[in-house]
Structure 1
Amino acid sequence: MRHTDPRWLDRNGEPIDEDHRGLVYDVQTLIDRRRALGIFGGVALTSLLAACSAQSTDAATTGGATSSPTASATPTASPSTSADASGPLAEVPDETGGPYPGDGSNGVDVLDDSGIVRSDIRSSFGSSTTVAQGVPLTIALTVRDASTGSALAGRGVYVWHCDRDGKYSLYGSGVENENYLRGVQQTDANGTVRFTSIYPACYSGRWPHIHFEVYQDVATAVASGPIVKTSQIALPAEADSAVYATTGYEQSVPNLAQVSLQTDNVFRDDGGIHQIATMSGSATGGYIASLTIGL
């Protein structure tokens, strides 16, 4: 005959029906079952009760599999790093290439020079090997079809920007014979290119930015062929302020104080909402500036 716990007997000594024994009985029964399975451990009673509801929901939606809070907090790959279509996205606005493009549209053409296709753009190439100094910056651009989100592999991307003093190679006083901070690369299978560079200055009248052009392929880029997209990357204020507090960027501090995304002559129409880079890193260890370009 099965033994009945005295707690579950009525005043006449008869067993109380399980449906009427109350919450204490239900919880104790659950604890006893979990102890028998060897999985209860040191979990607090309140946590156990909360977990029961969550696990029931998870099991219903995942076919019985559940995930822990730790697992759910683990970062996953961003859609921008996948070649698969990620759905429609906003097209990056067309912007001016500025007065210092170096693509043949305003004087000098660096695109047809041997050495322009490269990932590290900190140094000049050819007759000069001068290296631009500044806080390290990796520029990561992912090119996607705006209508589908699909990665556009094999596209040619040309980037250029000013140095720590606010000067553009090939044009600025004293750097006319330099071609640093300019380079071309081909997007990989995920539509991405990465350039190793330095953080650009903020010069008078402009918000800190990086120029880029997208071509159908590298061959078209180095032949100064048709441009698919000309635009600019806006660098976020928090990173700007951190970088400009370091040695060598002193003149950028007052320049940044006199401009905003809303007053900048390029980004003011929409505040650069489709062109503001996503930043990671620090002024001491260097930054990564990432942007998805919808075409």
Structure 2
Amino acid sequence: MDTGKGIEMGSATARHDTNDNPDGNDDRHDRGLAFDVGTLLERRRALQLLSGAAVFAIGACAAGQDGTTATTTSGTSSTTAAADASAMAGSSTTPSSEVPDETGGPYPGDGSNGPNVLDDSGIVRPDITTSYATSTTRAQGVPLTVNLTVTDTAKGYAALAGAAVYLWHCDRDGNYSLYSQGLENENYLRGVQETSAAGTVTFTTVFPGAYSGRWPHIHFEVYASVEDATSSGPIVKTSQIALPRAACEQAYAASGYERSVENLQGSSLTSDNVFGDDGGVHQLATVTGDAASGFVANLTIGV
């Protein structure tokens, strides 16, 4: 998926992919998330009727093209919205779909484009908010817990136990550790976790900022095992997680995210270089919580 174009963010000047280009533009537009999800749900309803299965009562599920309903706060209405959003986002209620392959972007930190943190002894960890080894700098921002459930497409989307997930993202200023100017000696917001018997991993981090040219997102790679992840083994899946607009708007109202407010206004899921092809329907996390107590993002990914 590398187009061969280059960008520069901080001190990074190596080969970049336009799908993660803060300055890149993309002219592709589709008919929006609501249209895509509506079509998907109609097909599923038809299959359920033919098989004699019960038809799910989706209710008034009308997500905006930027995934607004995928974020909730506390309360009864929020619980209902979360359930609807979970079904629409292809998360825990609809695991029978493979997450699309996406670019790892220009700042993977996996050795494919400069630095490699995957062979560091401290990279396997659940809390990725701080740097480790030579630095203990803590990334500032709104708390975020990321829960991923990995399923095996070859085995009927059964939970994939014993796999490894490498997760990374930018900080609240839109900068990446290891690459951006002034952060070359930092390695925060990067970590590896092994999936449990239920195929789950949990990362403690901060809400990523929005930078120009991209919808707010989180990168991840899936490996067959922690050993593969930490020894340059083969990557099973490279993709990205999209964060819903409502959660982003709440998070970016917090101090320190001022730049993200403007950048979010200038972007959308349907025009994003990565998520625009289908509105991020299989990559849009279900997010609950608030900026004061922190957010929790959930997504089931088929690999």
Does residue 101 of structure 1 match 2:111?
no
Distance 2:232 2:266 in 1: 36
Question: What amino acid does structure 1 have at the position aligned with 2:226?
Answer: V
Contact 1:204 1:255 in 2 (8 A): yes
Contact 2:124 2:191 in 1 (8 A): yes
RMSD over aligned Cα atoms: 2.1
> TM-score, normalised to structure 1's length?
0.70
Unaligned ranges ≥5, structure 2: 1-78, 88-92
> TM-score, normalised to structure 2's length?
0.69
Matches within 5 A, 1:77-116: 89-116=96-123
Structure 1 residues 87, 288: CA separation in 2 closer, same or farther (over 3 Å shift)? closer
Contact 1:275 1:291 in 2 (8 A): yes
- Number of residue pairs matched by the alignment: 216
Equivalent in 125, 128, 146 of residue 139 of structure 1: 146
Match of 1:285 in 2: 293
Larger Rg: 1
Unaligned ranges ≥5, structure 1: 1-72, 81-85
CA displacement at 1:108 relative to structure 2: 0.7
Match of 2:209 in 1: 201
Structure 1 residues 225, 242: CA separation in 2 closer, same or farther (over 3 Å shift)? same
* SS state at 1:251 partner: helix
Q: Identify the structure with bigger relative contact order (alpha carbons < 8 Å, sequence gap 6+).
A: 2
Runs of 4+ residues deviating >4 angstroms: none
Contact 1:123 1:180 in 2 (8 A): yes
Contact 2:217 2:242 in 1 (8 A): yes
CA displacement at 1:146 relative to structure 2: 2.7
Distance 1:290 1:115 in 2: 25
- More displaced, 146-155 or 258-267? 146-155
Structure 1 residues 293, 88: CA separation in 2 closer, same or farther (over 3 Å shift)? closer
- More displaced, 141-150 or 262-271? 141-150
Contact 2:139 2:206 in 1 (8 A): yes
Match of 2:5 in 1: none
Equivalent in 244, 265, 268 of residue 260 of structure 1: 268
Structure 1 residues 119, 284: CA separation in 2 closer, same or farther (over 3 Å shift)? same
Does residue 167 of structure 1 match 2:167?
no
Does residue 120 of structure 1 match 2:127?
yes
Question: What amino acid does structure 2 have at the position aligned with 1:165?
Answer: D
